[in-house]
């Protein structure tokens, strides 16, 4: 990390930290005061999105259904598949709470970030002890992507949207498969809501 002056905040983004077993202890050893931001979304949608991303790079991979289940007939979900495993948020959070107090973690709702980016970023600014500068006027909704975009990126006169890997259409997945995955994740989601004190509304 670069040296940080008084009054400055250094930020770093690596999505895999949250699910990497060694990360909590290593980050705690580097700085016990680190504040951690984790963007989470419905684990079923997240798994399909993860698969879509892989499919775009390797079109020859097996179907989502065959990867998601160890035994499809018995409805046995393969929790060893990374696309499924990453969505077990309560299990990952347990490891982090061994090294950091809950007040140093903020879970940002991926769904709310799309619906109300300024509102969700307001929570982030408060958590980081920053003045609330970002508001609705900084965003516009891009119909093509289905995401909000920044009206003007820092140091540029042009709008900024998430890259082409974001907002890709998902493949059609059998409704029965999605229902089985919802049932599978439900207890993990409920535990996560309990641990964070926040109901993300993924079980509706």
Is 156 annotated in a binding site? The answer is: no
Q: Is residue 202 part of a domain?
A: no
Q: Is residue 2 part of a domain?
A: no
Is 41 annotated in a binding site? The answer is: yes
Domain count, the chain: 1
Q: Is residue 78 part of a domain?
A: yes
Task: Check residue 2 and give its pLDDT.
Answer: 81
Q: Which domain holds residue 45?
A: 17-196
Q: Is residue 166 part of a domain?
A: yes
Task: Check residue 153 and give its pLDDT.
Answer: 60
pTM of the model: 0.89
Give the CATH number for residue 144: 3.40.50.300
Contact 86, 16 (CB under 8 A): no
Q: Which of 29, 51, 7, 158 is nearest to 99 (CA)?
A: 29
Is 82 annotated in a binding site? The answer is: no
The predicted-structure confidence for 122-153, as pLDDT tens digits, reads as follows 999 999 999 999 888 889 888 777 788 888 76
The predicted-structure confidence for 25-84, as pLDDT tens digits, reads as follows 999 999 999 999 999 999 999 999 999 999 989 999 999 999 999 988 888 999 999 999
Task: Check residue 145 and give its pLDDT.
Answer: 74
Chain center to CA of 65: 22
Task: Check residue 85 and give its pLDDT.
Answer: 97
Is 169 annotated in a binding site? The answer is: yes
Q: How far apart are CA 24 and CA 20, in angstroms?
A: 8
Q: Is residue 10 part of a domain?
A: no
The predicted-structure confidence for 161-189, as pLDDT tens digits, reads as follows 876 767 677 889 999 999 999 999 999 99
Q: Is residue 201 part of a domain?
A: no
Contact 45, 121 (CB under 8 A): no
């Amino acid at each position: 990390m670069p040296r940080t002056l008084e009054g400055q905040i250094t930020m770093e983004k690596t999505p895999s930290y949250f699910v990497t077993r060694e990360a909590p202890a290593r980050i705690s050893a580097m700085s016990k005061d680190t504040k951690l931001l984790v963007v989470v979304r419905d684990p079923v949608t997240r798994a399909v999105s993860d698969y879509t991303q892989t499919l775009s790079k390797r079109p020859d991979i097996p179907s989502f259904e065959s990867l998601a289940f160890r035994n499809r007939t018995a409805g046995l979900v393969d929790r060893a598949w990374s696309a499924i495993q990453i969505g077990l948020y309560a299990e990952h959070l347990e490891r982090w709470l061994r090294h950091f107090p809950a007040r140093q973690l903020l879970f940002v709702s991926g769904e709310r970030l799309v619906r109300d980016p300024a509102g969700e970023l307001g929570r982030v600014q408060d958590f980081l002890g920053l003045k609330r500068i970002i508001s609705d006027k900084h965003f516009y909704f891009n119909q093509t992507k289905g995401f909000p975009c920044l009206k003007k990126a820092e140091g540029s006169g042009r709008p900024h949207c998430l890259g082409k890997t974001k907002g890709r259409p998902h493949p059609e997945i059998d409704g029965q498969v999605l229902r089985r995955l919802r049932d599978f994740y439900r207890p993990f989601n409920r535990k996560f809501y309990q641990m964070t004190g926040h109901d993300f509304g993924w079980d509706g």
